[in-house]
Chains A and B, each alone.
Chain A
Amino acid sequence: MSTPLLELRDLATHFPVRGGVLLRARGTNRAVDGVSLAVERGETLGLVGESGCGKSTLGKTVVRLLNPTRGAILFEGEDIAGHSRRQLKPLRRELQMVFQDPAESLNSRHTVGNLIEEPLLIHRIGTADERRRRVDELLDLVGLPATAADRFPFEFSGGQRQRISIARAVALGPKLLVCDEPVSALDVSIQSQILNLFLDLQTELGLAYLFIAHDLAVVRHVSDRIAVMYLGRIMEYADADGLMSRPRHPYTQALIAAIPVPDPSRKRARTVLGGDVPSPIDPPSGCPFHTRCPHVEDRCRSERPELREVTRNGSIAHQVACHFDF
């Protein structure tokens, strides 16, 4: 077995919750609480969940914008969980991130050309001429005209700004892109353009993605495997087709049922999940989902189910964190 490009082992990121006059730690927000996942080379792992489930925290921890509380982040077999900034610098060429809102992640005082050149400068790559040519190549790669280099981010629409962010992220030839809700701020007619760009870049550059989003239909479309996250933990983890055609966790089943389908002839009687996502500061005992689960039993309130393998499709296991089989 070859080593996966990225492997997370029991990764946890906790934040102290401060309060009172002296801002003393009053509790712990267990945003990510024991996650084990793997991303293979050139593949897409989709990470889906509702707000507050910890998916963005997980993404930021993987690229080490946040420090993990425990666990291992193995990038090409090397544990980078405890790396210093200096140790991380060479890894930045391999591991990049794309954020939801390009209006906020791009410095509006720099031209697009400078923004895309910046990572090359930081890593001292090429001469000025070579860098200029590389910027042109990158603009072409993401579907922007070469003239864009001399303009400023605010002159572009949301979709074009996301293309600029992507050009910047792939400038150093990374192996893995962590994408945090990269299309959710875009208009419907623009989303598909950007999703196509992600698919094209994967084919052309052999990129792997950790694709984080709340929209299961979007995640399914781009992913080879999908992990469903709830309150800092993985509820289900499987190949994309297996997860969508035969979801085994009651939460995944509810998520799929809640997607509005643009086809009125498919109106169906569906079970609407009650309640809200509980706070990760004071998560429920036992199974984190038990407060909303339609199949809850006594055991779920006291005993937390671990991820277990239910079926196997070749090398890919279908794992679910539930005491029962549905």
Chain B
Amino acid sequence: MTSQHLLQVRGLVTTFATESGEVRAVDRVDLTLDRGRTLGIVGESGCGKSVTALSIMRLLPQPMGQIKAGTIHVEGRELVGADRETLHRIRGNRIGMIFQEPMTALNPVHRIGRQIAESLILHKGLDRREALVKAVALLERVGIPAPEVRLSEYPHQLSGGMRQRVMIAIALACDPALLIADEPTTALDVTVQAQILELIATLRAESGMGVMLITHDLGVIAEHCDDVVVMYAGRVAEQASAQALFASPKHPYTRGLLASIPHLETPRKSRLPTIKGMVPTLADLPDGCRFNNRCPHADDRCRQQQPALTSAGAGHQVACHHWQRIASLEVTA
């Protein structure tokens, strides 16, 4: 059955060795992404969204980061426990990845052209000349003006937005089936962010690849994702279609997040609803539901028993003991 999905993650547990002992950065996470769709992973710092992406790419910092349990299938192939050979064939070929800071992801001493050509030579067996011709086409496709000139330039000669376009060109060089974008626009200005997100959407529509978009920005999720996974302290709090999640959020954390963002319609200078307390550190998680110390609805059960993901409608899942009661409160309120 696994071959039906582009990406299928089941029961993923990733741990990190830290000074205060082993912490579970990702704790029993399930994800499914199909071709041609965009899956958004949203959460705050330390929620495990980036570690999930690094686990899929098998790029966890070694030896601290370890996948302790679970399976990761990409196009039906198991990546957990796969040897280096297999990973080399898949990474940069079937899976492309773009990061938040293109300046640190690009090699500062190599010309743009060489960095794009590299994966074409490695994975597609092109020679240098062919690879550079393809690189020009790729730069053109990601909207870089005068691509022939850019080929011989270095990363520092480009603006932040242009560098991120180069990263996208590299990620797309081998026509990957899956693109993982980890906060691809967080370092960019809002007008440039709009350009990059539009570009990713266009390329997805053209190529039919699946996109996993990791962000802290619920606005970006709403405008660019089909499905959403909300993560909190290493676990999935809620998952649903973007439509359903924003129309009727079930988890108190999701509801709190959505309420606390100032919208253009929020009365100006009014106090905003808040989520009390702060994001817990992984070394110091509360027992039971990890959100219980910030949740306005928490009771003894929440402090003792960790809630499992349960169905809250078609394709909508929530990890909360009290989601039904909370939903009914709203109707009567």
Contacts and interface: CB of A to CB of B under 8 A. Distances in A.
Interface of A: 44, 50-51, 157, 159-160, 187-193, 195-196, 199-200, 214-218, 220-224, 240-241, 244, 254-267, 270, 272-274, 276-277, 292
A124 B151 CA distance: 61
Given A199-B269, A254-B191, A265 B247 contact: yes
Interface in B219-242: 219-224, 242
A196 B223 contact: no
B222 A261 contact: yes
B262 A277 contact: no
B262 A259 contact: no
Given A160-B278, A221-B272, A189 B257 contact: yes
Contacts of B294: 189
Given A221-B269, A258-B193, A262-B222, A189 B279 contact: yes
Contact of A217 (B247, B256, B257, B261): B261
B223 A267 contact: yes
Interface in B271-294: 271-275, 278-279, 294
B39 to A, nearest CB: 14
Contacts of A196: 271-272, 274
Give the secondary structure class of B's interface.
helix
Contacts of A214: 189-190
A189 B272 contact: no
Nearest to A156: B278
Give the secondary structure class of A's interface.
helix
B219 A50 contact: no
Interface residues of B, number: 47
A199 B271 contact: yes
Nearest to B197: A260
Interface of B: 44-45, 159-162, 189-195, 197-198, 216-224, 242-243, 246-247, 256-258, 260-264, 266, 268-269, 271-275, 278-279, 294
Which 9 residue pairs are nearest across A and B when measured between Cβ atoms? A260-B219, A221-B262, A192-B260, A50-B189, A192-B272, A187-B44, A262-B218, A189-B275, A258-B194
B262 A195 contact: yes
Given A240-B268, A267-B223, A261 B256 contact: no
Nearest to A261: B219
A259 B219 contact: yes
A263 B265 CA distance: 12
Given A187-B45, A192-B261, A264 B222 contact: yes
A273 B195 contact: yes
Given A244-B264, A259-B190, A188 B216 contact: yes
